[in-house]
Structure 1
Amino acid sequence: MGKVKPHHDWILRRCCGSIAACILTLAVLVGFIVLVIYLAIHPSKPSFYLQDVQLRSIDLSDPAISLNLQVTIASRNPNERVGVYYKTLHVFTTYREEPITVPVELPAIYQGHKDVSVWSPVMSGDQVPVGQYVADAMKQDISAGYVLLHVKIDGRVKWKVGSWVSGGYHLFVTCPALLANAGGNVGGAFAMSAAAGGGVNSTVSLKFAQAADCTVDV
């Protein structure tokens, strides 16, 4: 009778091992199928375009910058069989690689095949501290008649194929926004108030030069 229990334990271990092996094999098979489908479809990253910028004000007070602007950004899903979930997107503006607005969260959306989505967030920064060289560079750019800002988006995306949804992927978008001197009196798309020499404010008129393609990293 003493030999029955060890034999029973051996059978139990064999059964558990077989079940675990079957589960592992099934998981590997499912993962392989998903990988094959993903590689066969090969989703392309979405395209982003900066369509418009409406700058309401910029104030320079050494060494800080205050500004308020609204941008219009469009995104297009180029895929025919893959949808895109945009998750936790934040947009902000930089000048000379320094953030000059507070990040604004964009609404999370699902973008179907070949669909186009548009966001028009308002961004602002109040007395944002910057390096002295950044403030000096902006004054020089304004005097030269142009200012190059960059509108950036940082977030995550997921791919959707049928009912299958992928894990999250990091998305980073950079859009150049060139503002050029409109000439004449104030009243263009951009009205900027910048501290001039001697602490006297001077107002200049700048306009968004043209719509721009954005670089996209996924």
Structure 2
Amino acid sequence: MSEKVCDGHKDRRRKIIRRCCGSLLIFLFIILLIFLLVWAILQPRKPRFVIQDATIFTLNVSAPNVMSTTVQVTINSRNPNSNIGIYYDKMNVYASYHSQQITYYTIIPPVYQGHKDVNVWSPFIYGNNVPVAPYNGIALSQDQSNGAINMLIKMDGRIKWKVGSVITGHYHLHVTCPAYIPLGNSKNTGIVVGSGIKYQLSQSCSVSL
């Protein structure tokens, strides 16, 4: 009789454990479903970026395959969402020329962007004696002679969405800003700022997650 009683207790425990696990799974499923429904209703949209200007302090080729660059750019970011905030946890900014990185990474400190808010960043990005492909050194000299240069200002980082009190996991953010800079007569195309020349750009950036 005692063995049957013990077996009966074990069966009851198994049933209780199964019911608890089933209830927990159902609860988690309901929470996930609610979150997905709220997410679908809110329809989060990607932040929008615009490069406003670029100030050139240094941009030269000291050898066919060595380039030095010092640029300050002004980039604004707008959160188009009415009910979703954005955490920018880590952002790196750098310049690219003819598909080759020509500056080091500049880090933008973490920041929170509220609903419909606009953030403005003005980082310095630079690279001293950076090795580049020989054809890039030649191309830069030719572009300077022609009076204009096309470079890309890129931002890579991670963001999190905030919906009410709920914060999501990280998403990778990639921003590419085309910077067409006319390097002609500074009196006509740029504004002298100290030892640099500022060029107004106002160009939209592409954003991918």
TM superposition score category, shorter chain reference: over 0.9
Determine the C-alpha separation between the residues in 1 that align with 2:169 and 2:183. 45
Alignment of 1:39-58 (within 5 A): 39-58=40-59
SS in structure 2 at match of 1:211: strand
Corresponding residue for residue 89 of structure 2: 87
8 Å CA contact 2:190–2:199 kept in 1: the answer is no
Percent sequence identity over matched residues? 37
Kindly report which structure 2 residues correspond to 1:151-162, keeping only aligned pairs within 5 A, or say none.
151-162=153-164
Match of 1:118 in 2: 120
Query: Residue by residue, what CA displacement relative to the aligned partner does 1:51-85 show, whole Å, maximum 9, x if unpaired?
Result: 11111012202201111111111000111111111
From 57, 64, 67, the equivalent of 2:66 is 64
Equivalent position of 1:31 in the other structure: 32
Q: 2-side partners of 1:157 and 1:116: how far apart?
A: 15
Equivalent residue in structure 2 for 1:174, among 154, 173, 176: 176
Q: Is the 8 A contact 1:190 1:208 kept in 2?
A: no
User: Which amino acid in structure 2 is aligned with residue 3 of structure 1?
Assistant: K
148, 151, 170: which one pairs with 2:150?
148
**Contact 2:95/2:101 (8 A) holds in 1:** yes
TM (norm. structure 2) is 0.92
Moved over 3 A (4+): 184-191
Q: TM-score, normalised by structure 1?
A: 0.88
Q: Does 1:217 align with 2:205?
A: no
The residue aligned with 2:131 is 129
Q: Partner of 2:167 in structure 1?
A: 165
C-alpha change, 1:174 and 1:10, in structure 2 (3 Å) is same
**Does the Cα contact within 8 Å between 2:88 and 2:110 map onto a contact in 1?**
yes
Alpha-carbon distance between aligned partners in 2 of 1:173 and 1:75, rounded to the nearest angstrom: 10
8 Å Cα contact 1:180-1:209 kept in structure 2: no
RMSD of aligned residue pairs (Cα, Å): 2.0
Gaps of 5+ in 2: none
How many residues get paired?
205
Find the aligned partners of 1:162 and 1:83 in 2 and give their Cα distance. Answer: 9
Unpaired stretches in structure 1, ≥5 consecutive residues: 192-204
| Structure 2 residue aligned with 1:5 | 6
In the alignment, is the contact (CA less than 8 A) between 1:181 and 1:207 conserved in 2?
no
How far 1:50 moved relative to its partner? 0.4
- CA–CA distance in 1 between the matches of 2:156 and 2:190? 30
